[in-house]
Every structure is written in C-alpha cells, then in structure tokens.
Amino acid sequence: MTTPHYIDGRWVEGQGSDCIAVFDPSLGQPFAELISASTAQVDQAVAAARQALPAWKRTSAAERATCLRGFATQLGQRREALIALQMQNNGKPRHEVEIDLDDAIATFNYYADLAEQLPQKNRDVALAAPGFSARTRLEPVGVVGLIVPWNFPLVTSAWKLAPALAAGCTVVLKPSEVTPLIEQAYGQIADALGLPAGVLNIVNGKAETGAALSNHNGLDKLSFTGSNGVGSQVMRSAAEHCRPVTLELGGKSAILVFDDCDPDQAVDWIVAGITWNAGQMCSATSRLLVQGGIADILLPRLQAALEKFRVGNPLTEEVDMGPLTSQAQWHKVAGYFDVAREEGLHCLTGGQVVDREGWFVSPTLYTDVPTDSRLWTEEIFGPVLCSRRFSSEEEAISLANDSRFGLVATVCSSDLVRAERVADALEVGHVWINSIQAVFVETSWGGTKGSGIGRELGPWGLSSYQSVKHVTRCLG
C-alpha cells in the first residue's frame, strides 16, 4: 500500500501525517497500512478535477454511458477479489457482500442507461409573452467532493460516483479510513478504461483529509454520507462557500407490526432490519412497535430467532452475522449495553459482547423500552433492537414519528389498505410494506428531519449533480 492515492491519473505515495491501519474485525488485527494524503495532495486532486472538467463536460452522453458500463463490467471481472476483501475488512457474510457488489454494478448500469436518455442540452420553453424565445439547459454542477462511510463501501461510492460522472462532473472521492482499500478498485478501473486523467481522483485519510476536502474552495458541490456530527460540520463548510450539499445522515427507524400480520413473516422482516451488516446501517429499523394483540406471540419467536443467529468470522465459519467493523464501534455498542443496565431496561436476549477474539456482539432485544430511554432515541449502529407495544394505528404512527430522524420505516400488516395509509402518514423518506429492506437503484434514497438533505439514486440522484440554466432571447 505504498501508493494508495489516485491523483490526476497516477498512483502516488501519501504525504500526510497519519498512518492508517486497516483491520480484520473478525480477528481484531491489522492486515495493511497506508499513509494518508496531505492537505497539499487534496489541493492537487481538486486542481486535477478542475483541469479535467471542461473536456469531460463536453463528452457526449453516449461516451459517458460507455464509460459507466465499463465500470460495471470491470467490477464484475474483479468479483471474487472484491468479495474477499470486503469480507475481511468489513466482516460481512458472503451473501451480504455479493448483494453489495451486485448493487454497485446495477448502479453503474442504471446511470449509463439514464445518461443515454438525457434530454438534449437545449430544450425550448413555451412563453406566454410574445416577442421572446427561451431555452433551458441541464449542465454538470462542476467539481464535486464525495465523502463515503465504512459500512457500505463500494456501494455508497457507486451511488455518488455513477450519477456524478453521468452528469459530466469530475470528482474527488474520499473513502473512510476504516475501509480505504476496496474503493481503490475504482482507480484501477479508471486506468483500465483509459478514463481521462483528473476525472476521478481518490484521496485516503482520516478527519484531517476529510476536512481539507469538505472545506476546499475549489469544489462546486459536496456529497457526504456519514454521522450527524460530521454532517453538521460539512453543512457549515457548505454554508461558508454558499455551495450545494447532499447529506445522507443517521436514522432511528421504526418497524410497525399490526395484529393481523403473520408472526413468522414479521420475525423475518424484523430480524433482517436489525441484523443486516450487524445493524451498522443508517436505515436499521431499531425501534420495534408491536400491537398488543400479537406481542405475546411475536416476541418469544423473535427471541428464539435472534438466539439461533450464528455469529462469527465469515472467512472461516458459516455465519448469519459477522463482527462490528471497527473497535471504536464495538466500544460504542458495548457502552449502550452499560446504559441499558443503568436504565434498568428489560433485556430479552443478548445485551453483551461475545467472548472471543474480534469485535463481536450478540443480537439484542430490549422490551417495554421507555420513549425517553437513550436506547430508544439515539442511533446505536449495531444489532440492538428496542420494542414497545401500541394499541391503535394512531398511536403507532405517533410513536414512529416521534423522532429527530426520518430516514425509513417498515409496515407489517395483512390489511394493505391500512398499510398504505400508515406508510403515507410516516415522516420518512422510504417505507417498506411487508418486506425486507430491498433497495432498488430506480427508487430514491434519503430522509427527512435530521436524516439529511437531498436524495440519491433514481433520476433524483442524477439531478443532484446537474444545474439548470435558462437562456431568454428577445426576438425584436
């Protein structure tokens, strides 16, 4: 890892002050290290993107679509290596990693199709006033900074990189220091495809590198996915420069289970919503709202399902859930177990770290959790589920909406009319009905309230990297 940064079409050594150790969370041991990019190297990456912008924005939609399909094809060709790396660095089971990779491939193919469907740059606009003509243009917003998290590397970057390139933007990508290796595949693919130098730049580093990028006056837009704390800093920086920003932040999402729901199906949806990626998802449905008539049937089955979960090293064992990805996250989740004991919460199962090497915790279920509990209100980012009972539809909606977050929700009911009605009443960006959290590139992703600003995926993801220009001409 002597040249981990991709700047202006070249792999270069890090010149920063941080040495980044890359860990296998199943063992709690490092397996690689790299030197971070310096502030000067961030400057170089932004300058390279700026220099490449005029030529890249002039490329045709067909050329950009070909490039994006090349990314999709190359990801597929690197499939086994990328799967192995993500299992080792993230601790995800193989079936989860395969879905992540397929999602990234689908994203590049989708935006290739969308790029080809883009309207002509000039579109006439009908005016009520005589004597004038008008046209509208969709143009790339310019040079964009992309800062992505560690819980879904490769995927989150695809969600940003593909539409940005499709729109004609040039980019500087900053991966998480926890998972800095897998995003290097994008630089390798850029080399293989002959992508013009400077169109894609990758700088690795910790907070100092991220701050240098988010504060850089050479950016025209910044897109960030991560914690609310860092997101607030990114937003302040955007305000200083008066530039657009997309923020995909935290969540404390609810899953609502009504009396008429099949309890076994509900258990499957609940378990998937809290244990996928060991609960390290902004969309984790970590608040379970269960109607009183089904609670005594549902909760024991849910407990049994969680206790059957196989937790271990996905590289050496058949597992349902791997470790938490970092030691810091392991300490954070363990701290919430301490808070639960201090608050006197009733733990039906779990509530402890696993006594083995690596950063493992047990899938956990607390019942009858007060709405003022820290575990009910704060994002934990682990496989920790808190439940409460409700009596009426109105109460369920009120409890679900009583949160400073508004990312996603799930509704479980055999009464589809009610399920759709409840979905419409929930103050979130995405709702699933009787389903696991299936995310499709054609749909939007993003939330309300403290869960962020803007939308990714679908046509909304592309439009966030475009600016609108109108040209009005007097005909006299």
CATH classification of the domain holding 384: 3.40.309.10
Q: Are 243 and 220 in contact (CB under 8 A)?
A: yes
**Same-domain check for residues 311 and 353:** yes
For 155, the enclosing helix (H) or strand (E) is helix 155-167
Q: Rounded to an integer, what is the distance from CA 139 to the centroid of its chain?
A: 26
What domain count does the chain have? 2
pTM of the full structure: 0.96
Q: Can you tell me which residue has the tokens 């923020």?
A: 247
For 453, the enclosing helix (H) or strand (E) is strand 452-453
**Same-domain check for residues 191 and 48:** yes
Residue 52, token pair as written in the block: 């490449």
Q: Are 455 and 464 in contact (CB under 8 A)?
A: yes
Q: What is the DSSP letter of 279?
A: G
Low-confidence ranges of the chain (pLDDT < 70): 119-121
**Same-domain check for residues 47 and 119:** yes
**Same-domain check for residues 180 and 301:** no
On whether residue 69 sits in a domain, the answer given is yes
On whether residue 306 sits in a domain, the answer given is yes
On whether residue 406 sits in a domain, the answer given is yes
Q: How many other C-beta atoms lie within 10 A of the C-beta of residue 224?
A: 29
**Same-domain check for residues 18 and 155:** yes
Q: How far apart are CA 42 and CA 293, in angstroms?
A: 58
pLDDT confidence of residue 121: 67
DSSP β-ladder status, 408-412 and 170-174: unpaired
Q: Rounded to an integer, what is the distance from CA 6 to the centroid of its chain?
A: 22
Helix (H, G, I), strand (E, B) or coil at 445: strand
Give the domain range for residue 420: 254-440
Cα distances (angstroms) measured from residue 448 to each of 39, 156, 290, 332, 451: 33, 19, 24, 25, 5
What type of residue sits at position 230?
A: V
**Same-domain check for residues 263 and 294:** yes
Cα distances (angstroms) measured from residue 82 to each of 75, 103, 274, 436: 8, 13, 25, 25
pLDDT confidence of residue 2: 87
pLDDT confidence of residue 123: 84
On whether residue 312 sits in a domain, the answer given is yes
pLDDT confidence of residue 113: 96
Torsion of CA 400, 405, 406, 408, to 10 degrees: -80
On whether residue 328 sits in a domain, the answer given is yes
On whether residue 408 sits in a domain, the answer given is yes
**Same-domain check for residues 132 and 64:** yes
**Same-domain check for residues 261 and 362:** yes
On whether residue 446 sits in a domain, the answer given is no
**Same-domain check for residues 432 and 470:** no
**Same-domain check for residues 272 and 230:** no
**Same-domain check for residues 18 and 156:** yes
On whether residue 445 sits in a domain, the answer given is no
pLDDT confidence of residue 120: 62
- Helix intervals (H) in 308-435: 327-343, 374-377, 393-401, 416-425
pLDDT confidence of residue 299: 98
* CATH label of the domain that carries residue 61: 3.40.605.10
**Same-domain check for residues 466 and 430:** no
Active site residues: 248
What type of residue sits at position 227?
A: S
Q: Where in 157-286 does DSSP place strands (E)? A: 170-174, 200-202, 221-225, 245-248, 254-257
Residue 427, token pair as written in the block: 């103050």
